Amino acid sequence: MSGWEVRFSNTRKAAYFHNVQTRESTWEPPSHLSDAQLRALPGSEYLVGGVGAGGGAQTNGENEQVRASHLLVKHSGSRRPSSWKNANITLPEAEAREILQGYANTIGQDPVKFAQLASEYSDDSSHERGGDLGVFSRGQMQRPFEEATFALKVGEISGIVKTDSGLHLIMRTG
């Protein structure tokens, strides 16, 4: 067999994939396994809903999870006004909002453009992954970010969301 099984993380309250032969663990389904093979893995009862290309592992009920990407523009009032590209951000919030609105206008509802702009312009370390934050559940993100993300349908992109970290565009991906 493939050596893969599904386990449940009590810390993150989420299913993950573990290979008992290589001891590799990942939150993402192994790409070489089909949906049918994933559902046949030991522990697959922890999986609810879709799994597969970027689908992540989801649980239900109070542990509902989402996957999202974001594009963060920090400003002088941000909790930590520095980033990978600027050690001291002095941009006023109003200008940060204008910049982010420009990105939103360019992106429209195009996930490829979203990832491209997040890679180039996001003030968060997730820029290395096109803005991908991975899978998270309620209580793991700042409240406005969480509420906006859970309100989106998969594939939708939010308007501008303000948190203590700065201003975000959020795309729900799972």
Query: How does pLDDT run across 81-108, given as a tens digit for each residue?
Result: 999 999 999 999 999 999 999 999 999 9
**Distance (Å, rounded) from C-alpha 107 to C-alpha 121?**
13
> What local confidence, expressed as pLDDT, does residue 57 receive?
46
pLDDT at 129: 92
pLDDT of residue 163: 95
pLDDT at 157: 94
Spans of all domains in the chain: 4-62, 65-172
Q: Using one digit for the tens of pLDDT, what is the confidence trace for 5-64? A: 888 777 666 778 888 889 888 878 888 888 778 878 888 777 754 443 334 444 444 458
> Taking the domain 65-172, which CATH number applies?
3.10.50.40
Q: How far is CA 12 from CA 28, 50, 57, 97, in A?
A: 14, 19, 12, 32
C-alpha dihedral sign at 72, 76, 82, 85:
positive
- pLDDT at res. 60: 42
Residue 117's pLDDT band (cuts 50, 70, 90): very high
What is the Cα 155 distance to its own chain's centre? 12
CB 57, CB 6: distance < 8 Å: yes
**Token pair listed for 48:** 């609810």
> Is residue 109 predicted with pLDDT exceeding 70?
yes
pLDDT at residue number 63: 56
Residue 138 pLDDT: 85
